[in-house]
Structure 1
Amino acid sequence: MKNLLENIGKKSKKAFFQKLSSKKKDKVLRDYCYLINKNKKLIINENKKDIKIALKKKLKINLIQRLILNDKKISDIINSIKKIIKLKDPTNVILQKWKRPNGLNISKISIPIGVIGVIYESRPNVTSDVASLCFKSGNAVILKGGTEAFYSNYILSKLFRKSLQKNGLDENFVQFLKLKNRKVVDFILTRMNKFIDVIIPRGGKSLVKKVQDLSTVPTIGHLEGVCHSYVDVDANPKIASKVIHNAKLRNTAICGATETILLHEKIVKKIGNQILRNLEKNGCKIIGDNKIRKAYSKKIKKASINDWSKEYLAPVVSVKSVKNLEEAIQHINKYGTMHTDCIITQNKKSAKKFLNEVKSSIAMHNTSTQFADGGEFGFGGEVGISTNTLPPRGPVGLNQLVSYKYQITSKGAVRK
C-alpha cells in the first residue's frame, strides 16, 4: 500500500507541472461532457452495482437516494460541468500591480495550489464536480470516494482520464484511489505530505473530524453546520415565515440547513408562534427554551444547553428567545460553527451590525441559509464549505482553488 500510494503521489506531482492553456482545459471538460453523455448506460449499470451492494448492506434510504444515478442526475452532472467551462480561468491573473520608489515593479499573480486530495462520501456527482473544478483551476487531484459509491465514482473518474488522454495530457491530473482498505485514509493523512498540498474532506462529522485530527497536510473544510436564523423585532412576518420554512425544511440533511431559530422576545407570541406552527404543521419537531414553551400553544420538548450546539440534519429545530440583537449575535458566536447565519429584519442598521459582527464564513440578511452552496453563489459548483478562519472561507469553488505568487522585475535594482 505504501509503495502504491507514494507512486500515485509522484504521478500527481508530475502531472501538475504539465503546462495547460485555458483553451485546452475547456476542451478537456467539453470532451468529458461528451463521454458522460455517450456512456450514460454504462454509468447507470455501474451505479446499479453500488445500489445492489447498498441494499444488501441495508444502508439508510436517504443514503441510497444520494447514490442513485439516472438520466436526470446525469444531465445535472453534465450541466454542472458546462457551468464550470463558462467560468473564466482563475490562474495566471494579475491580481495587483504596483511600482515602488526603490525601482521594483511588483505583480501579484494567481497560481494553482498543486495536488489536492479530496476524501468524500456518498454522492457520485462529487467525483465529476471536484475533478472538473480542480482541473480548470490547474490543480492535480487525488480522489478517495466512499466505498458505497465505488463503481459509480470509478467510471466517472475513468471517463475524465479518457478525456485527458484524448487531448494529449497526462491522465494523472485526475487519479481515483481504487483501494478499499480503511488504512488508506490514515496513510494519506499522515504520510503523504510530500505529495499532497491540501486535503479537502467532504462528508459527515466523523470523516471531517478524523481528517482534522490526523492530517499532517493543511485542510480546508468544516466539521458541522450549526446554522442560525435570527428573527429580529423589526422583521416582516411574511418574509420571516417564508425564509425560516425554507431554511429548515427545504432539505434537512444539508450543512446549510438552519438548526437553531432565535426569536426576539417581543415577537415570540405573534410572529414566532406563526413560524413554529407552520414548521410543526409540515412535520418539524420543535425544541424550545422556557420562554418559547410558555408562549407556544402546543406542548414542546424543553431545550437543554447541548441542543444549542446540535446539528440535527433532520426535521428538528431548537428555538430560543433572546432579549435583543446583541444577545442573538453573542449566542451565534458562542454556539455556532462559523458556517452560515441569517438575520431577518427590515432594519438596515440592525442588519449591518449582524452581518459585521457574527463570525460566520457566510452571513445573510432576509435570506434562507440553504443558499450556502457554491453553485448558488455562481462558482460553478464547490468542493466543499470552509469554516476556517484563514481563507478560503465559505463555498470553495473555482476561484478559491488558487493561491498566488509575487513576480518582481527591475532595471538591475540593488538594495542599499
Structure 2
Amino acid sequence: MTVIEQMGAKAKEAARVLSVAGSKKDLALNSIADALIEHKDEIIKANNIDIKYGKEIGLTPSLIDRLTLGEDRIKGMADGVRKVSSLPDPIGNVISGNTLPNGLTVTRVKVPLGVIGIIFEARPNVTADAASLCLKAGNAVILRGGKEAINSNKAIAKIMRDAVEKVGLPKDSIQLIEDTTRQSSTELMQLSDYLDVLIPRGGAGLIKAVVENSKVPVIETGVGNCHVYVDKYADIDMASEIIFNAKTSRPSVCNAIETILVHKDIAKDALPKIKEKLDTKNVQIRGCKTTKEILGDDIVDAEESDYYTEFLDYILACKVVDSIDEGIAHIAKYSSGHSECIITNDYARANKFKKEVDAAAVYVNASTRFTDGGEFGLGAEIGISTQKLHARGPMGINELTSSKFIVEGNGQIRV
C-alpha cells in the first residue's frame, strides 16, 4: 500500500465514525476555531516562509495576496468555522416519504458523501474552509494543496487534526498530502477504491487536468470568466461603482469580473466615467475598436483570446455591443458559466437577461463579488460549481451530501 492509499483507508474508517457523529461534529468545529486563534503565530510563521518562496519564484502580487495569512484572515477562518458549526446539520434530514399501497413506507434521507478529495492551489484558507464543511456534512477529507502554500497548509492541518482528536473524533477525518509533486496529485485522482468524489479548486489548468484524468467522480468548480453588461438603460454611476468593485476589490478571485460589455447608445457617456474610476487602481483596459475610439490610444487592443481569459489581475477586457442580444451572445460564447451581471433600469431587459444567460449566478444591478457561500448564507463554501450535475453555484454543506432510501415493511414480498 502506498502512503496515499493508506490515507484513503484511514479516511474511509473515519468517515464511518463521522456519519453517525451527530452533535460531536459541532464540538470538533468549535475546537478547530479555538485552536486556529490559539496557534495563529505558528500559522503566520509558516505562512511567511511560503510568502518568501512565492516572491522568489515570481508569483504575481495578486497571487501573493491570495497566499497571505495575517491575523485578520486567520480570525476570518476561525469565524467561518464557527459559522459552519452553527448551521443546521443536514444528515438524517427527511427529503421525502410516503406509504405505498402494499404497506411499505419509503423515506429518503440525507447522508454524507463519504470521503472527499480536494486538490487546490495557493489559498491556504481553503484548508480550513474545506475541512470544516466536509466535517459538518459527516465526510472525511483528504486535502492536496500546492507547493506555494505547503508550510501554511501543514501548520493548519496539524492544528485541525489535533483539535478534532481532542473531542474524541478520528484525527484522520482531516488529512493533508504533504508531497506536492505531480505524482501525488495523479495518485489521488486514481484513488477510486477510497474516494467518493474529487473536487478541484484552482485555475483552468488544474481543473482541466483533474476532469480529464480522474478515475474518481469530479465536481467541477469553475474558472471565473465573469462579465458585466452595461445596458443602454443603465445608471452610469451605478455601473461604474459595480464594475470598480467587481474588478478591483480582489482581482485574484474567481468572482471578479474579466470583461465589460457596454451598449453602443450609452458607451460615449459610460466608458470615460468607468475608466476614470478604474484608473485609480491602474487597471489596464483591453478594448475593441470602438472602445479605443472613445477612450483614446492608450487603451490596449483587445485580442480574441482576451475575451476567453481569466486575468486574475488588474486587467479588464472591454467591448462595445450593438444590442442586448449581442451582449448575451458574447457571454454565451466566452463565459465560463460562473457569474454574469446586467446593469439596467429596464425591468423587461433585466428579465430577458435573467432568463437567457446560462450561469451559476446571474445578477441584476449588483457586483458579482457576492458569489460566495458565506455571502449567500451557506456558511463557508467548498467551491463554486459551474457544472449542472449534483451541485451548481456555491457549494455548502447540503451540496456535500447524498441520500439513501429507507424502506420499512412488515413481511412484504414482491410477486
TM-score range, shorter chain: over 0.9
Q: Which runs of 5+ in 2 are unaligned?
A: none
Is the 2:104–2:412 contact (alpha carbons within 8 Å) kept by the matching residues of 1?
yes
Q: Against the structure 1 CA distance between its residues 415 and 239, is the aligned structure 2 distance closer, same or farther, given a 3 Å change threshold?
A: farther
2:67 alignment partner in structure 1: 67
2:181 alignment partner in structure 1: 181
Q: Against the structure 1 CA distance between its residues 347 and 415, is the aligned structure 2 distance closer, same or farther, given a 3 Å change threshold?
A: farther
Q: Against the structure 1 CA distance between its residues 162 and 351, is the aligned structure 2 distance closer, same or farther, given a 3 Å change threshold?
A: same
Aligned length: 414
Is the 2:284–2:314 contact (alpha carbons within 8 Å) kept by the matching residues of 1?
yes
SS of 2:2's partner is helix
2:130 alignment partner in structure 1: 130
Is the 2:66–2:252 contact (alpha carbons within 8 Å) kept by the matching residues of 1?
no
The Cα offsets for residues 210-264 of structure 1, whole Å up to 9 and x where unpaired, read as 1122111111233521111011122122221211111122221111111111112
Give the ranges of 4+ consecutive aligned residues of structure 1 lying more than 6 Å apart after TM superposition.
none
| In 1: Cα distance, 2:71 partner to 2:239 partner | 37
Is the 1:209–1:223 contact (alpha carbons within 8 Å) kept by the matching residues of 2?
no
1:155 alignment partner in structure 2: 155
Quote how far apart the aligned CAs of 1:61 are: 4.1
2:118 alignment partner in structure 1: 118
1:347 alignment partner in structure 2: 346
Quote how far apart the aligned CAs of 1:59 are: 4.1
**Percent of paired sites with the same residue:** 38
1:83 alignment partner in structure 2: 83
Is the 2:115–2:197 contact (alpha carbons within 8 Å) kept by the matching residues of 1?
yes
| RMSD of Structure 2 on Structure 1 (CA) | 2.1
Q: Which amino acid aligns with 2:302?
A: A
| In 1: Cα distance, 2:184 partner to 2:29 partner | 29
1:108 alignment partner in structure 2: 108
TM-score by length of 2: 0.93
SS of 1:201's partner is strand
Is the 1:50–1:148 contact (alpha carbons within 8 Å) kept by the matching residues of 2?
yes
Q: Against the structure 1 CA distance between its residues 163 and 274, is the aligned structure 2 distance closer, same or farther, given a 3 Å change threshold?
A: same
SS of 2:119's partner is strand
Q: Which amino acid aligns with 1:244?
A: I
Matching of residue 213 in structure 1 with residue 209 in structure 2: no
Q: Which runs of 5+ in 1 are unaligned?
A: none
1:27 alignment partner in structure 2: 27
Is the 2:62–2:312 contact (alpha carbons within 8 Å) kept by the matching residues of 1?
no
1:15 alignment partner in structure 2: 14
| In 2: Cα distance, 1:319 partner to 1:328 partner | 11
Q: Against the structure 1 CA distance between its residues 291 and 175, is the aligned structure 2 distance closer, same or farther, given a 3 Å change threshold?
A: same
Q: Which amino acid aligns with 2:215?
A: T
Quote how far apart the aligned CAs of 1:414 are: 4.9
Quote how far apart the aligned CAs of 1:333 are: 1.0
Is the 1:248–1:258 contact (alpha carbons within 8 Å) kept by the matching residues of 2?
yes
| In 2: Cα distance, 1:371 partner to 1:74 partner | 21
**After alignment, is 203-212 or 392-401 more displaced?**
203-212
Q: Which amino acid aligns with 2:121?
A: E
Quote how far apart the aligned CAs of 1:280 are: 3.4
Quote how far apart the aligned CAs of 1:104 are: 4.3
SS of 2:376's partner is coil
| In 2: Cα distance, 1:282 partner to 1:48 partner | 26
Q: Against the structure 1 CA distance between its residues 58 and 236, is the aligned structure 2 distance closer, same or farther, given a 3 Å change threshold?
A: closer
TM-score by length of 1: 0.93
Is the 2:21–2:138 contact (alpha carbons within 8 Å) kept by the matching residues of 1?
no
